[in-house]
Amino acid sequence: MAYLTAFLTGARRTLAARGDLSTQVGMMLLVILALSSVWHAAAVAHGGHVGAYTFGELVWYITFAEACTVPVPARVIEDIGEEIGSGEIAVAMLRPASVVGIRMAIDTGAALARQWCCLLAGGAFAWLLAGPPSAGAATVQAVGVAFLALLLSIALQHALGGIAFWLNDARSTWFLFQKLILIGGGVLIPLNLLPHAVASIFIPLPFAAIAYVPGSFAAGHGSWGLVIGQLCWLIVGFGTAFLVFARGERRLEVLGG
């Protein structure tokens, strides 16, 4: 019950902050516009296709990849690090519920509200730019995969943020995570368009499960193998986040009051 309340609180807070929400959605639309212009130029130069993708498929790929990364800003890692570093987390530890569980429930509620806004606005924009989704009915699967991607991103960010229990400062980790998602996760370029050797390194990694997998489903190039990989990373991500916080909370020492 506590987790459901935390989830709903996160969602309500996000929907109430209309200025922030519209800025985020506006930025996402701008990114879709810029990236779709890039891929349009590439597709025109290559007879309408880039690798296995048509222009329309690339636009839907970008839309879903963005809608899985924009709603969970990588700064979450910095926030967690600051809460741990400043000792603020000690207050949350007084509650009769898991610190990381409540935190993740709030973040999931907030991120899901943002993701739906991004998918609705981004989907309408992508439709305008490139017509209906090329995946057809499979777009519904893409929405489900996008939710799993969101959960994985939250779990991984909490696992990384928890490093602050040992280092006292995990602020820089968010930056590394963001860059890994951009290139290694396939936000900017679908991973199967990379040179084969590079793609075979990135595709099995969790970053690909956050952006490349939902993007592929939206473009009609998804496979159940990718979803199985995503589910495996989800288990590893949540397991690691809970383990890191459980160990970290035991060694936390807060001075002062």
Site for other proteins in 11-30 (CB under 8 A): 19-20, 23, 26-27, 30
Q: Which two tokens stand for residue 148?
A: 């799993």
Site for other proteins in 31-70 (CB under 8 A): 31, 33-34, 37-38, 40-42, 44-46, 50-51
Bridging pattern class, strands 53-54 and 49-50: antiparallel
Task: Give the 3-state secondary structure of 150-185.
Answer: HHHHHHHHHHHHCCHHHHCCCCCHHHHHHHHHHHHC
Among 182, 205, 236, 252, binds other proteins (CB under 8 A): 182
166 lies in the binding site for other proteins (CB under 8 A): no
Stretch binding other proteins (CB under 8 A), from 76-84, 188-196, 224-232, 233-241: 188-196
- 166 versus 175: smaller Cβ distance to other proteins: 175
Q: How many residues bind other proteins (CB under 8 A)?
A: 30
Are 58 and 36 a contacting pair, CB within 8 Å?
yes
Are 60 and 218 a contacting pair, CB within 8 Å?
yes
Residue 190-229 contact track with other proteins, rule CB under 8 A, x = bound: ---xxx--x-------------------------------
| Strand intervals (E) in 75-155 | none
Are 8 and 109 a contacting pair, CB within 8 Å?
yes
Amino acid identity of residue 110, one-letter, is: A
Binding site for other proteins (CB under 8 A): 19-20, 23, 26-27, 30-31, 33-34, 37-38, 40-42, 44-46, 50-51, 172, 175, 179, 182-183, 188-189, 193-195, 198
